[in-house]
Amino acid sequence: MDKPLHIVMLHNRYQYVGGEDVSTDADVELLRNYGHRVTLIEVHNDIIKSYSQFAKLQLFAETAWNFKVYREMRSQFQELKPDLVHVQNFFPLFSPSVHAAAKSLNIPTIQHLHNFRLGCLNGYLFRDGKICEICVGKNPWQGITYGCYRDSPIASLAVWAMITINRWRRTWWQDVDAFITPSQFSAQKLSEIGLIRERIYTINPYINPPNQENVSSHLSTTPNFLFVGRLSSEKGVITLLKAWMELNMPEWLLNIVGDGAEKSNLQKFVNDAGLKNVQFLGYLSSSQVTSAMQLATVIVVPSQWYETFGRVIVEAFACSKPVITSDLGALSELITSEHNGFLVPCDHVSMWAEKLRWCGTHPEEMRIMGNNAFETYQTLYTSSANYQKLMAIYERVLRH
């Protein structure tokens, strides 16, 4: 790129901090570090808590197309005159109208896709504790019947309207110049959902290396295991806890980092099962997560849905830690089994228990696998590799 770009980055933050928020912050930091001007415009779902009943009903309609946001964003784009608009997440407060606002001014737009929201009402291709693809490649009306979004047919109707209206007006084909997704698996699924495959680009998120003096192995004398993520059903923490109960190693420790709607249910399970060696640490800062990882024997990622990437795995690799993860979706792209971690059938509790036991009783093998994990990180997930791929997409979009 001959000259620095001015990028407007749009992001709708969720109530609970997740990988999308972290990836957005990382992209902004990366671009600024390379000398580009980034104007970050963001909203937060927490504001919905203060809405009146009428305002919530209004949001129901505006999720599909927000005319007020269209006018506001168009005005801001006119004033800012960016080279391009990069939308990380528009749901639900921005709506897809932001793309039309940019396009009306001939400003190229890119949509980052961190989930499967454009073809699945809950965005996860996950229902009733299992993978669900009944709406892939179809109109997702069945998701209303099942109440796939927030277990509510009414809320699901709003998401269905967003998907259907924007398919009808061809928003994704006419107003969006390129899509970015973090894995080949998610790119294939999004293509099956109906997006143009040639416009879907894959960029693995990058992770800044932790403090080098702390990268060396920090294994505790007592095996301890770490989960980091949102506490929601698709993340599979209940499967991990069932395996932990079967493992029955009271001297070992399991730390659970994160928050979410399932936290109280998970805590009840732990209390009812008498698992005294499980700690819920709540939300931790990035540096605190790094410290926790460096002290862990292994990181566990028991997801039950099609993860589009698996950022926590790369964070573990950057800390020289192997990972035990489910063999679903993009997760299987990240792990070379018995080299930098293990792949386990997502719902096979006994096999999870078996791998946890093996990792806790083979410290030397864990050290070697941790070194392999760090080599994987250095080869594939650094900022320079990510930046070159991102710039190639920006240049291609700007040329057209």
- For residues 331 and 307, state if they share a domain: yes
- For residues 365 and 395, state if they share a domain: no
- For residues 331 and 268, state if they share a domain: yes
In angstroms, the Cα distances linking 359 to 219, 363, 369 are: 12, 7, 10
Residue 255 lies in a domain: yes
pLDDT given at position 15 = 76
- For residues 194 and 250, state if they share a domain: no
Phi/psi-derived region of residue 170, left when phi > 0, alpha when psi is between -120 and 50, beta in every other case: left
Residue 169 lies in a domain: yes
Spatial separation of the C-alpha atoms in residues 166 and 96, rounded to whole Å: 8
- For residues 44 and 177, state if they share a domain: yes
Residue 44: name the closest of 22, 64, 14 by CA. Answer: 14
- For residues 352 and 270, state if they share a domain: yes
Residue 79 lies in a domain: yes
Cα R_g (the chain), whole angstroms: 21
Beta-bridged to residue 344, according to DSSP, are: 326
State how many domains the chain has.
2
- For residues 368 and 386, state if they share a domain: no
- For residues 237 and 93, state if they share a domain: no
- For residues 319 and 336, state if they share a domain: yes
Residue 1 lies in a domain: no
pLDDT given at position 67 = 96
- For residues 199 and 224, state if they share a domain: no
> Coil, strand or helix: which one is 189?
helix
H/E stretch holding 227: strand 224-228
- For residues 178 and 238, state if they share a domain: no
pLDDT given at position 212 = 54
Q: What is the CATH number of the domain that holds 154?
A: 3.40.50.2000
| Single pTM value for the model | 0.87
Domain housing 157: 6-206+382-399
Q: What pLDDT tens digit does each residue of the chain (400 aa) get?
A: 678 999 999 999 987 777 788 889 999 999 999 999 999 999 998 888 888 888 888 888 899 999 999 999 999 999 999 999 999 999 999 999 999 999 999 999 999 999 999 999 999 999 998 999 999 999 999 999 999 999 999 999 999 999 999 999 999 999 999 999 999 999 999 999 999 999 999 998 888 888 755 444 455 679 999 999 999 999 999 999 999 999 999 999 999 999 999 999 999 999 999 999 999 999 999 899 999 999 999 999 999 999 999 999 999 999 999 999 999 999 999 999 999 999 999 999 999 999 999 999 999 999 999 999 999 999 999 899 899 999 999 999 999 8
Phi/psi-derived region of residue 329, left when phi > 0, alpha when psi is between -120 and 50, beta in every other case: left
Pairing of strands 126-127, 130-131: antiparallel
pLDDT given at position 323 = 98
- For residues 275 and 224, state if they share a domain: yes
pLDDT given at position 216 = 46
